A and B are shown apart, each in its own frame.
Chain A
């Protein structure tokens, strides 16, 4: 894959553009937002389709219930708020009326992870992937950049069933091809390699891309796979790559418990036990700071992926 940076954009803006496009393609697509229209970049959809947009106020539980009701009536509802208000705050609502009831609701979560930055730990959700992954019927998607988030938003509108779509706040490298169709559940091969496999998701994919040439200089030919769909996991792709390279690194902006490391470890331990090294948050809360400072402080940076890869290779 060509890793040329086209521009620097926030993934939430990809969601906003994708939602507008999905709304144009399907008149049943509706939007709901809990007083964060600007932050979620839902303005364009709300302006274009005012009758299909529901400002619910700061009432996330009601928003999830309403979304379930709208889906019963045949609509395709997209709810929008920050990741913590999209998950932990409304977990029982999602569990009962969305996932257990198997409703066609798309829970769209912005400002996920440590890169939310200065607002601090109350808003830095690092547990959401785990919570959503545990719910039967739920699909969990974490795209890596603007283009992919836009494509994923369009794809989930066409997918029948509950979806959790996670994206973030800061402007990051936008490097995947524009208008590349998003295939739910299919791991994305970013670069083939032979010595170690890096499985990454979200903002960590770009960090991993930057690790590739550094590893190359060290004589490590790394394979990079973007696990944009955490659930259902592309089990075949994970096993095939792990068998080929013989050791694995996972990289995510999430707690070690419940996240990508958890999913990959599960597959490997059941199918082909392989040395695995995580880049993740280790059972702690975040704090205020700039996104770049926080990624460095919590060891979610390119150099941490490089170190993990070296360690994994040494364990072979």
Chain B
């Protein structure tokens, strides 16, 4: 940031300020927003009796593409020739593309009985050439999934990285009176219950391959860590040391599980292998240490510790050595979550007595408070592409999940059940 110093220096030279009492200067800089590709859905072709699907397809796809942060969705005027239902020619696309469209989307959809077919094509708005085209087939009840798949393919086509529209979020909810785990699509739709033991089921986390959900459950009477195999529905007990077994977190390779246990008195961080064996204690201090989160390389772990007198975020390498403190601002910083891109650690910070979501760079140099407003926010979790955060908040209710961009903008509410919904985790 030496630039700012030099800027001021030059500004003062240029301003040629004369000696006087209380001199003031006015300066400024302007930054341009990151460019987003203008994209428009030109037409959705459906059989005449299935026209109702057209608006759902548009809404879902536009939402997915907007959230990807890659596209700016625009609504060009309808090109009447497209209403015929035939696949558009390059000339027609170029005509539509005159509305400054860079990506033009054309969709043909039909449902036959229990099956659907969605053909999605993306054209370059300037040349009219088709950039990608795919025909998706699936069950009728999976229409949203098909649209999400198309959106992720479009994002991949333009950036080389898949979008996250097909991903899911697991969370804990008090809807039934106890705390059960629920799954939902990344956009809040299709909420479905995945535990049903009427105990406390907390802190769910995904395995890196998305096949398991590991969580703390009181189903056996005391808090132990269980793993649910999503393919088979089989539940197994992974760790059951005396005392607390909480805040599980899989290493990025899926080979190790870090968690916190109070078997030795104060809560400490341990690791085990995926069979629950080879137990190793990582933290040695007589304070409380919990909520481990792995760096994307698996080399380091950030965690909460009150060894300094108040709960703060610390870092150590994955063997437990080289412990250093990361947060120095505020008296309550907990629940870290390391971005899959490695560049940022989101956590819950207490600001003016209220919990907020903050983010800090792993070197501690850059710190930002991301949320504000009524109520309190906690428990941030990253999307697998590192572009979004999901967290729980009491800003509008007893506790609901919200999604926002990594910079705190475009906040969107995801749950509306009226229960306390918290502890979200985003699938890979």
A is bound by B: no
